[in-house]
């Protein structure tokens, strides 16, 4: 997997999104009925309403305390405000990842590609997919209320090493995504140190932090004991 896509995947997962990366869109031609690859979608991400990353304190004893007697010592891990995550609806991101300018591939705005992406995640009822695609192609985002309390926001995002105007697509620099991963792991070092995420990019950032290669929030560097460069050449 492309390392830039891995950064975006790790960033979105730390912010509570479920992700599908490098998803191939296959189309069938009218003439001849041949199948071919239309494009790859770099990132599909879906976050459910009220999602939160919490660490709970287990009370003493063998049992588990729930309900009104549960101790109020839950640690809430912050999400990135730059994502403008809604609390009351599904949030779906269809993302393009570039090493250079953060901009959308023209094929990303293809109605067939958008319809395939939305259908793959199931964020919208089948009857609402076409309407969602029309809004996305026109303005880059769609706010939908499907009734029965089901609300959804779908938006197009471009991630890249260089910022651009973006047009109808939201833009985020890869530097910001990578910086969030570092700061998040630094801020919650004590809480997350025992965790094994199984994501190669998060694991790499954790390793760099343990090796003392990342500066802290105040410009200092946290070095593990015995890792101060005093060894023999």
**Cα distance between residue 89 and residue 47, in whole Å:** 9
pLDDT tens by residue, the chain, 233 residues: 889 999 999 999 999 999 999 988 988 887 777 888 888 899 999 999 888 888 888 777 655 555 555 555 788 899 999 999 988 888 999 999 999 888 877 888 888 899 898 888 887 778 888 888 988 888 889 888 766 667 889 999 999 998 876 678 899 999 999 999 999 988 988 888 877 888 889 888 988 888 877 665 444 433 333 333 333 33
Q: Is residue 152 part of a domain?
A: yes
Q: Is residue 208 part of a domain?
A: no
Q: Is residue 194 part of a domain?
A: no
Domain region containing 150:
3-178
pTM of the predicted protein model: 0.82
Q: Is residue 185 part of a domain?
A: no
Q: Say how many domains are in the chain.
A: 1
How high is the pLDDT of residue 173? Answer: 93
How high is the pLDDT of residue 222? Answer: 39
Q: Is residue 212 part of a domain?
A: no
Q: Is residue 225 part of a domain?
A: no
Q: Is residue 202 part of a domain?
A: no
Q: Is residue 233 part of a domain?
A: no
**Cα distance between residue 60 and residue 175, in whole Å:** 43
């Amino acid at each position: 997997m492309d390392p830039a896509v891995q950064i975006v995947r790790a960033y979105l997962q730390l912010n509570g999104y479920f992700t599908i990366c490098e998803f191939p869109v296959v189309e069938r031609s009218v003439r001849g009925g041949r199948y071919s690859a239309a494009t790859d979608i770099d990132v599909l991400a879906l976050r459910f309403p009220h999602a939160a990353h919490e660490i709970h304190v287990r009370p003493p004893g063998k049992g588990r305390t729930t309900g009104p007697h549960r101790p109020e010592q839950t640690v809430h891990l912050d999400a990135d405000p730059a994502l403008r995550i809604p609390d009351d609806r599904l949030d779906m991101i269809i993302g393009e990842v570039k090493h250079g300018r953060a901009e959308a591939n023209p094929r990303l705005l293809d109605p067939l590609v958008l319809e395939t992406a939305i259908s793959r995640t199931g964020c919208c009822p089948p009857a609402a997919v076409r309407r969602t695609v029309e809004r996305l192609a026109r303005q880059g985002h769609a706010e939908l209320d499907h009734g029965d309390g089901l609300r959804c926001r779908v938006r197009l995002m471009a991630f890249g090493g260089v910022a651009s105007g973006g047009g109808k697509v939201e833009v985020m620099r890869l530097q910001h995504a990578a910086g969030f991963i570092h700061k998040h792991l630094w801020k919650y070092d004590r809480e997350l140190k025992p965790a094994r995420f199984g994501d190669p990019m998060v694991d790499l950032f954790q390793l760099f932090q343990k090796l003392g290669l990342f500066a802290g929030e105040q410009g200092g560097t946290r070095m593990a004991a015995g890792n101060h460069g005093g060894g023999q050449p």
